Structure 1
Amino acid sequence: MLKIAVMISGGGTDLQSIIDACQAGKINGQIELVVSNRQKAYGLERAQKAGIETAVVKKNDALIVSMFKERQIDLVVLAGYLAILTDELIDAYPNQIINIHPSLIPSFCGAGMYGMHVHEAVLNRGVKVSGATVHFVSREIDGGPIIKQVACDISDLDKAEDIQARVLEIEHQILPEVVGLYCDGRIQIENGRVKVI
């Protein structure tokens, strides 16, 4: 059973989807630690209710690496973590950090494209299809190998909040699914592309 750390900044609904999947026996792993860069992130309460250790760490990836190593973390999941990881943290866990992004990468991603900013940009551009992407984290922002993407029709929506809600439903499906695949050893990277075996 793999040891998982989850990093959050907000409400923690993506975190909750992983907690629920673990409790349902759908993931061959256990969340050992939830780290937030925001003291008042509601996701911390979700973790505590599930009996998971929590920590608040702001702008100190060296400390986070130390905490992860101490707990022998196998997989790091960014579940709505609204900060850019340092190279120190990324290099400490090569192809062991995954992120959920609320668009179909390579569209609407990169510097400044996070949270509601993504959905507002999607709305302003007038695209008809959006979705969510789970990818490995690399030194390039949102540039690591893509693991899974699911699209949804948003042509009937005219508010960024409604787009966010629809995309969030996809996030709650695919993030725990990918975590489960990783914990089962079913994800491989060949020539920069992910294969599920």
Structure 2
Amino acid sequence: MSRLPKLGILGSGSGSNCQSIHDAIRSGALKAEIAVVMSDNPDAYILERARSWGVPAEVIDCAGFKTKFPEESQEAVAARLKEYGVDCVCLAGFMRLVKSPLLQAFPSRIVNIHPSLLPAFPGLHAWEQAVHAGAEESGCTVHYVDGGMDTGPILGQARVPVLPGDTPESLHARIQVEEHRLYPAMIARVLETLE
């Protein structure tokens, strides 16, 4: 690509992984630009982060559904991402399941980061699942998004030991350190395949 590839970031919470992507771009480690940040939660701090960087921040209308991502909403999001010229969609703590309208609009161009070594512990609160299951190690996984719950092809993983006395919170904090390193590196790898 003669121009910098454009990222669209979808998140539901504080956006620490969005911050790591922004930091990697600023340092030159990730050759891309964030075109838009979108959230299904109007109060999410990820939107504040985007605004502070001068990046468009938009709220996704999910028609009042708490967890469902309605097809009409996905179609609207896909249309907005296309309007921004987005090349790759990055899920950063986005808590809704992406299905066909968005997947068809961006085939093999939607990636996610998940706080476990998939296929172990998919779904919510994976770090809690790991501690409660007595796992000896956990970590994070960057994967392509398909129609399932954390089931798409894996791009990369980083491992973190589960230490004696770990709480879900202490394990999650160590996993996040690895997430912030791994995600920008794997996004860079995805962007190379789009050139």
Q: 1:135 and 2:143 equivalent?
A: yes
Tell me how far apart the structure 2 counterparts of residues 26 and 44 of structure 1 sit (CA, whole Å).
23
Change (3 A) 1:73 1:44: same
Residue of structure 1 equivalent to 2:69:
none
Gaps of 5+ in 1: 188-197
Distance 2:96 2:13 in 1: 12
The structure whose residues are more often strand, as a share, is: 1
Which residue identity is paired with 1:139? G
**Identity rate, percent:** 34
Partner of 2:55: 52
> Structure 2: 5+ residue runs without aligned partners?
63-72
Q: Output the TM-score relative to the length of structure 1.
A: 0.88
Determine which of 171, 177, 182 is the counterpart of 1:169: 177
| Partner secondary structure for residue 193 of structure 2 | coil
- Name the CA distance, whole Å, in 1 between partners of 2:38 and 2:28: 23
- Partners of 1:186 and 1:67 lie apart in 2 by 20
Q: Which piece of structure 1 moves more, 117-126 or 178-187? A: 178-187
Q: What do the CA deviations read for 1:142-171 (whole angstroms, capped 9, x no partner)?
A: 111100001111123431111110110110
Q: Is the 8 A contact 2:99 2:146 kept in 1?
A: no
| 1:145 aligns to 2:148 (yes or no) | no
Q: CA deviation at 1:185?
A: 3.1
1:78 to 88, 91, 103: 91
The alignment yields a C-alpha RMSD, in angstroms, of 1.4
Matches of 2:167 and 2:113, distance apart in 1: 21
Letter in 1 for 2:5: L
Q: How many residues align?
A: 182
Q: Distance in 2 between matches of 1:10 and 1:67?
A: 20
Which residue is 1:97 aligned to?
110
Match for residue 101 of structure 2 among 83, 88, 91: 88
Q: 1:121 aligns with which of 124, 129, 140?
A: 129
Q: 1:27 is matched with which residue?
A: 30
Provide the TM-score with structure 2 as the length reference: 0.89
Q: Secondary structure at the match of 1:28?
A: coil
Give the letter for the 1:161 counterpart. Answer: E
Deviates more, 1:154-163 or 1:30-39: 154-163
